Copies of this chain bind each other. A is one copy, B any other.
């Protein structure tokens, strides 16, 4: 399959060329301290703005949902006796459709990358693959607008995944001190305009996003580490934690005022699972939980399998924008009509007790003083449905209701993920799992297997199992779940459930995010090289032959090489008379040539590192630079731009060694040399990412060019 967009690798390695060393020499300790303080300021601001953004999304969704609910409810209440419920349904459907259409149109026509949860894209970014537009301001705006529309529009989606993407965009924007979308440069934080720094900030932003979404600052840090960082850096982690803390605090602080309890910080995240008061379980319940984990793994694998085929179908047939919008509209209509039909058939009426307020209770076809629990589960925001599944007293839900709900919601959620709307899969997964978890809990209580079966506890485990089965995250998910429940006693069972779900799920296939990453054939690097690949050497893995430059090179040659679209790499070894090899990058090269040309024309100042930073991250393509015939004949000294001591490996180095070096240092190119220290090849991300351990030993994959 062809890649959907052009990809580039990020470079996490400092290019220590002459310009860099010159700049460093002029740095005072004072300046370095300022830089360090700026890093903290950027992280603090990121946290603050992410929290604020989460608050904004939350409040807008709340207001719009409530408005929608009031409108529809007044209609239903007015028409129930007339039997013209159908009209209310139509109204409701139209309202939902309008919201979803607005969101889908914005995404499809303005910024397609804002579709989905954005987590796969952020995973790729943290892994070192740059996906175009992923951290632009425009993407953020569309994403926020889109997610509000899809949540209010009643799709089976959550607003938590997009928060992670939003946090990442906020971090990237602030750290660069400018926005390409608005073409505005604030001339601040210019020092951070390079891949290394930007990626660090993006990981802090993602952590802040998780933190705001789930009220889980530690979980956020672990999420970023689990998904991204390979090299553990203490100061970076500490800054990530700072951003996360500020983010959850900001959200909490503003929400406390919104709820009229200024300063009482009890709503740390967008979703709050609520307190599990009787936080206790018996030892013999652990096997039951683990079985639930297995169920979650199975259901998750099924979900992913269906979604995989659906995505293939979409890539083949639904690639035009208007088709995508149509599909989203269809999903919106189905998401409301199918539940309605079920509500019509179901007769799960619950007494509307006074001691327990039920959010947005719907009477529907029930007698007065009662409400339809099916309708309430379906037509509420997913967050409040999850909370009721966790905390309503035993007997609040009919088993049949839960079964049908699970069944229908499974397909709805599966269909919805991948639609051209901004939406996350976390909340639907949790809701799905909570439903069947509570079902299992109720059944166990009925069967008398467990003497004391609190269905809410089983709902929690089911939610963990289902989410784990779909996304296959482990460590960070455990911590997120523990932080969201605010109860450390459930830590062990949640961990065991997630492990079981992952093991069972992995037997059948990959996690949802990995599937989507693979479908876009992104060269995603795993944690380690495949086991038993020591017999494979750099010689077999590397790309060769490599185009090399010499230290003094004709401008014409450089321009020709760079213009040659068939040349695969962005880095070119520079081979000098000393047989050493050095690398520098195409993107910088074109800038270099550009400025060189300018310089020869104007006989002007020397090139400085600042010029590269100003151009970052969109260095001008070589085609945009006009080079005259005279200039082509000039020679250029590349010495000051090259990295004189790149990391190299001998060609007999085994794949795991190459992999470890590449991954631990976040390299973009690795030069392979022979015994005489001559360049024989270049290893790039793609060369390493294509080897996977399949069922029949090592396998090679097709991957997009980087």
- For A265, the closest partner residue in chain B by CB is B489
A657 and B16 form a contact (CB under 8 A): yes
- For A697, the closest partner residue in chain B by CB is B29
Question: Would you call A676 an interface residue if the criterion is a C-beta within 8 Å of the partner chain's C-beta atoms?
Answer: yes
Q: Mark A25-53, 1 if CB is under 8 A from B, else 0.
A: 10101001000000000000000000000
A664–B479 CA distance with the chains assembled, in angstroms? 26
Q: A234-B475, A677-B675 are in contact. Are A246 and B492 (CB under 8 A)?
A: yes
Name the one of B265, B527, B649 contacting A235, with C-beta atoms under 8 angstroms.
Answer: B527
A673–B281 CA distance with the chains assembled, in angstroms? 61
Name the one of B233, B248, B264, B489 contacting A266, with C-beta atoms under 8 angstroms.
Answer: B489
Question: Would you call A304 an interface residue if the criterion is a C-beta within 8 Å of the partner chain's C-beta atoms?
Answer: no
A280–B253 CA distance with the chains assembled, in angstroms? 12
In the complex, chain A residues 1-32 whose Cβ is within 8 Å of any chain B Cβ: 14, 16, 20-21, 24-25, 27, 29, 32
In the complex, chain A residues 638-673 whose Cβ is within 8 Å of any chain B Cβ: 644-645, 647-650, 652-654, 656-657, 660-661, 664-665, 673
B675 and A488 form a contact (CB under 8 A): no
A158–B282 CA distance with the chains assembled, in angstroms? 32
B218 and A225 form a contact (CB under 8 A): no
Question: Would you call A578 an interface residue if the criterion is a C-beta within 8 Å of the partner chain's C-beta atoms?
Answer: yes
Binds B, one of A289-297, A390-398, A529-537, A680-688: A529-537
- For A676, the closest partner residue in chain B by CB is B677
Q: A27-B532, A532-B32 are in contact. Are A241 and B478 (CB under 8 A)?
A: yes
In the complex, chain A residues 591-628 whose Cβ is within 8 Å of any chain B Cβ: none
A367–B528 CA distance with the chains assembled, in angstroms? 70
Q: A645-B657, A653-B645 are in contact. Are A534 and B488 (CB under 8 A)?
A: no
A488 and B268 form a contact (CB under 8 A): yes
A268–B488 CA distance with the chains assembled, in angstroms? 9
Question: Would you call A226 an interface residue if the criterion is a C-beta within 8 Å of the partner chain's C-beta atoms?
Answer: yes
B266 and A475 form a contact (CB under 8 A): no
Question: Would you call A182 an interface residue if the criterion is a C-beta within 8 Å of the partner chain's C-beta atoms?
Answer: no
For A650, list chain B residues within 8 Å (CB).
580, 644-645
A534 and B21 form a contact (CB under 8 A): yes
A486 and B488 form a contact (CB under 8 A): yes
Q: A238-B475, A266-B489, A650-B580 are in contact. Are A225 and B217 (CB under 8 A)?
A: no
Question: Would you call A231 an interface residue if the criterion is a C-beta within 8 Å of the partner chain's C-beta atoms?
Answer: yes
For A265, list chain B residues within 8 Å (CB).
280-281, 489
B282 and A233 form a contact (CB under 8 A): no
Question: Would you call A435 an interface residue if the criterion is a C-beta within 8 Å of the partner chain's C-beta atoms?
Answer: no
A24–B533 CA distance with the chains assembled, in angstroms? 9
A245 and B491 form a contact (CB under 8 A): yes
Question: Would you call A495 an interface residue if the criterion is a C-beta within 8 Å of the partner chain's C-beta atoms?
Answer: yes
Question: Would you call A249 an interface residue if the criterion is a C-beta within 8 Å of the partner chain's C-beta atoms?
Answer: yes
A479 and B218 form a contact (CB under 8 A): yes
Question: Would you call A584 an interface residue if the criterion is a C-beta within 8 Å of the partner chain's C-beta atoms?
Answer: no
A535 and B25 form a contact (CB under 8 A): yes
Name the one of B20, B282, B527, B665 contacting A234, with C-beta atoms under 8 angstroms.
Answer: B527
Question: Would you call A242 an interface residue if the criterion is a C-beta within 8 Å of the partner chain's C-beta atoms?
Answer: yes
For A488, list chain B residues within 8 Å (CB).
215, 217, 268, 483, 486
Question: Would you call A230 an interface residue if the criterion is a C-beta within 8 Å of the partner chain's C-beta atoms?
Answer: yes
B580 and A675 form a contact (CB under 8 A): yes
A264–B648 CA distance with the chains assembled, in angstroms? 57
Question: Would you call A283 an interface residue if the criterion is a C-beta within 8 Å of the partner chain's C-beta atoms?
Answer: yes
A16 and B534 form a contact (CB under 8 A): yes
B245 and A492 form a contact (CB under 8 A): yes
B32 and A535 form a contact (CB under 8 A): no
Q: Mark A116-148, 1 if CB is under 8 A from B, else 0.
A: 000000000000000000000000000000000
Question: Would you call A271 an interface residue if the criterion is a C-beta within 8 Å of the partner chain's C-beta atoms?
Answer: no
Name the one of B268, B486, B660 contacting A665, with C-beta atoms under 8 angstroms.
Answer: B660
Q: Mark A376-410, 1 if CB is under 8 A from B, else 0.
A: 00000000000000000000000000000000000
A280 and B268 form a contact (CB under 8 A): no
A225 and B215 form a contact (CB under 8 A): no
Q: Mark A459-493, 1 if CB is under 8 A from B, else 0.
A: 00000000000000011001100110010110110
A53–B32 CA distance with the chains assembled, in angstroms? 47
Q: Which of the listed residues A29, A248, A489 has the most CB atoms from chain B within 10 Å of its own CB?
A: A489
For A499, list chain B residues within 8 Å (CB).
242
- For A20, the closest partner residue in chain B by CB is B534
Q: Mark A198-222, 1 if CB is under 8 A from B, else 0.
A: 0000000000000000010110011
Name the one of B234, B531, B645, B649 contacting A645, with C-beta atoms under 8 angstroms.
Answer: B649
B16 and A654 form a contact (CB under 8 A): yes
A231–B225 CA distance with the chains assembled, in angstroms? 11
For A579, list chain B residues within 8 Å (CB).
675-676
A16–B656 CA distance with the chains assembled, in angstroms? 10
Nearest CB of B to A108, in Å: 35
For A150, list chain B residues within 8 Å (CB).
none
For A675, list chain B residues within 8 Å (CB).
578-580, 677
Question: Would you call A263 an interface residue if the criterion is a C-beta within 8 Å of the partner chain's C-beta atoms?
Answer: yes
Question: Would you call A232 an interface residue if the criterion is a C-beta within 8 Å of the partner chain's C-beta atoms?
Answer: yes
Question: Would you call A237 an interface residue if the criterion is a C-beta within 8 Å of the partner chain's C-beta atoms?
Answer: yes
A580–B280 CA distance with the chains assembled, in angstroms? 62
Question: Would you call A229 an interface residue if the criterion is a C-beta within 8 Å of the partner chain's C-beta atoms?
Answer: yes
- For A526, the closest partner residue in chain B by CB is B234
For A644, list chain B residues within 8 Å (CB).
650, 652
For A266, list chain B residues within 8 Å (CB).
489
B234 and A226 form a contact (CB under 8 A): yes
B280 and A237 form a contact (CB under 8 A): no
In the complex, given contacts A16-B656, A245-B495, what are 6 additional A-B residue pairs having Cβ atoms less than 8 angstroms apart? A32-B531, A215-B488, A230-B232, A248-B491, A253-B283, A265-B280
Top-3 shortest CB links A-B: A232-B232, A664-B664, A645-B653
8 contacts between A and B (CB under 8 A): A16-B656, A24-B534, A32-B531, A221-B475, A245-B492, A645-B650, A645-B657, A677-B677
